[in-house]
Copies of this chain bind each other. A is one copy, B any other.
């Protein structure tokens, strides 16, 4: 990582150009992002001096495109399939065509996450970064698959790669690690990073079985129909991996993470935890062992002295243990599509605000 400095008072421009936005994917998060960006248009302009201009919205079969700017209000209540009926719809339009025609801004990556191939997000990010576009990413896939070279590609092209939305949404995991703890050495990180598993564990603690808790979570829309990525620990593994790589400047890949899930909890473990007034949490964890950092996802009994002890239900939290600042813990933050959308907007604001002048 390298930080560049700007001399005070030198580089101010009085009237910022509009920021061109390409939105990739119009599923739950993509649509929520459009909604939030639309609602916050005035605030972005007034408080941060940023004018957001949607140029293109991509879905599988093509894209909306207008070099002059799309009117966001026209797409607020639309589903992905309804986009194709619009005047500005271009069937089969390719991202590279848009990147070629439009001055770089931010590509907002919201396509479905695939932590094996990274696609289609990985190709989108490579194309955008190569052209000097900044990117704000909600999709873990491409970063989990190819973190190091995406970072290098961003650096080479002087683009900024931000992904708060891929690392526990509105819970500010990366901001706190990078910004609030600047200058401190982080010795250990522990996080409850997956709402579904934490909900199931909380309910099991209250006395119901794993199967009942999972069914309940599915009925409430907390767990997916196929919950395996969550309950087998891979979602948590992806997030602690991305946090470790970004905040600690590591190059971990998924194979480096020792991953445990919650599908086969020995009942003896549950009973003992209860007896010792502990709770079982699925923790993503990074710590130093003999000068090497290790990374794992593990079912861990913690007692009331642990800062994440009270993080229950779908809530999340992360603790950073440092040398000079003690333990700093952040909890909460909406983890629904709206929370992810708000954190994409936050990343865009923080890419462009750069220096805050009082």
Mark A residues whose CB is within 8 Å of B. Answer: 1-13, 16, 36, 40, 43-44, 47-50, 104, 132, 134, 151, 154-155, 158-161, 170-172, 175-176, 178-185, 304, 307, 309-310, 319, 324-334, 338-339, 341-343, 345-346, 349-350, 352-358
Contact = CB atoms under 8 A, between A and B. Distances in A.
B44 A357 contact: no
A122 to B, nearest CB: 16
Contact of A330 (B132, B176, B304): B176
A332 B339 contact: no
A45 to B, nearest CB: 11
A184 B346 contact: yes
B3 A346 contact: no
Given A182-B350, A304-B310, A349-B182, A11 B3 contact: no
A299 to B, nearest CB: 21
Contacts of A4: 11-13, 49, 353-357
Contacts of A325: 170, 333-334, 339, 342-343, 346
B356 A1 contact: yes
A209 to B, nearest CB: 24
A1 B132 contact: no
Contact of A3 (B5, B48, B183, B339): B48
A312 to B, nearest CB: 9
Nearest to A349: B182
Nearest to A185: B43
Contacts of A326: 170, 332-334, 339
